[in-house]
């Protein structure tokens, strides 16, 4: 069974700079017409290989997702966060993952079928939760960032840190706390896109 102790590789919060980057990435996805319209929660404890290192499994998941989207000529756009697990059916030493992804509606069903294979198989009905949404997109943006450091001075982030489930989202997890698809939503990609828009209007 995977046990997590606090060590130099673990993190307790989403940093303010990381949260701001994720907010910018979320907004940019809309600008490039790739809205993050699918929310996925993966409870690793409910997967067949629950004892495997979660950072490695996240990387594997992202790679499989990237290849799957590329084969369908869909831009790879996603943001994700890790949170400690505190629900009754989970092992507290195995964190869970929240991910917002751009999945065109015509591929929603195929994606839902495929993701079970990407996590190595599931052993519980609670292992993977998928919600497709449009109008309520703002809710998930806030939800993924509720684990932000509550000591931040940024007013927007302070509001997010007071989410009713914020305390549950804080605590040590191994490896990166959060991430985004750098090639499409990262700072360099956003700056390049903005410059292209300026060039077109010049």
Tokens matching residue 131: 């919600």
- Give the per-residue pLDDT at 40: 95
Tokens matching residue 21: 């980057």
Residue with the two structure tokens 């804080």: 170
What is d(CA 33, CA 160) in angstroms, rounded to the nearest whole number?
A: 25
Report CA torsion sign: 154, 177, 46, 90: negative
- What's the average pLDDT block by block, 10 residues per block, for the chain (202 residues)? 47 94 94 94 86 86 97 97 74 83 95 93 88 69 92 93 92 92 97 93 79
- Give the per-residue pLDDT at 52: 72
| pLDDT averaged over every residue in the chain | 88
- DSSP 8-state symbol, 96: E
For residues 39 and 133, is the Cβ–Cβ distance under 8 A?
Answer: yes
- Give the per-residue pLDDT at 1: 34
Give per-residue pLDDT as tens, 1-11: 333 334 447 88
Who contacts 136 (Cβ-Cβ below 8 Å, separation ≥6)? Answer: none
- Give the per-residue pLDDT at 138: 61
Specify the pTM.
0.89
- Give the per-residue pLDDT at 94: 83
- Give the per-residue pLDDT at 106: 95
- Give the per-residue pLDDT at 137: 60
- Give the per-residue pLDDT at 50: 66
- Give the per-residue pLDDT at 97: 95
């Amino acid at each position: 069974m995977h046990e997590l102790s606090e060590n130099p590789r673990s993190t307790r919060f989403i940093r303010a700079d990381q949260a701001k980057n994720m907010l910018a990435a979320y907004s940019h996805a809309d600008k490039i017409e790739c809205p993050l319209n699918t929310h996925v929660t993966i409870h690793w404890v409910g997967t067949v290989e629950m004892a495997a290192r979660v950072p490695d499994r996240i990387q594997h998941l992202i790679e499989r997702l990237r290849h799957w989207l590329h084969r369908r000529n869909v831009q790879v756009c996603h943001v994700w966060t890790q949170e400690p697990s505190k629900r009754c059916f989970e092992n507290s030493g195995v964190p869970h993952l929240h991910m917002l992804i751009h999945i065109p509606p015509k591929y929603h069903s195929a994606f839902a079928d495929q993701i079970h294979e990407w996590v190595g198989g599931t052993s519980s009905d609670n292992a993977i939760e998928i919600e497709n949404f449009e109008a309520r997109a703002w809710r998930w943006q806030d939800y993924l960032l509720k684990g932000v450091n509550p000591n931040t001075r940024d007013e927007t982030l302070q509001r997010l840190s007071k989410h009713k489930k914020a305390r549950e989202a804080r605590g040590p997890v191994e490896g990166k706390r959060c991430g985004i698809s750098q090639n499409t939503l990262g700072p360099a990609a956003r700056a390049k896109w903005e410059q292209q828009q300026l060039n077109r209007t010049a």
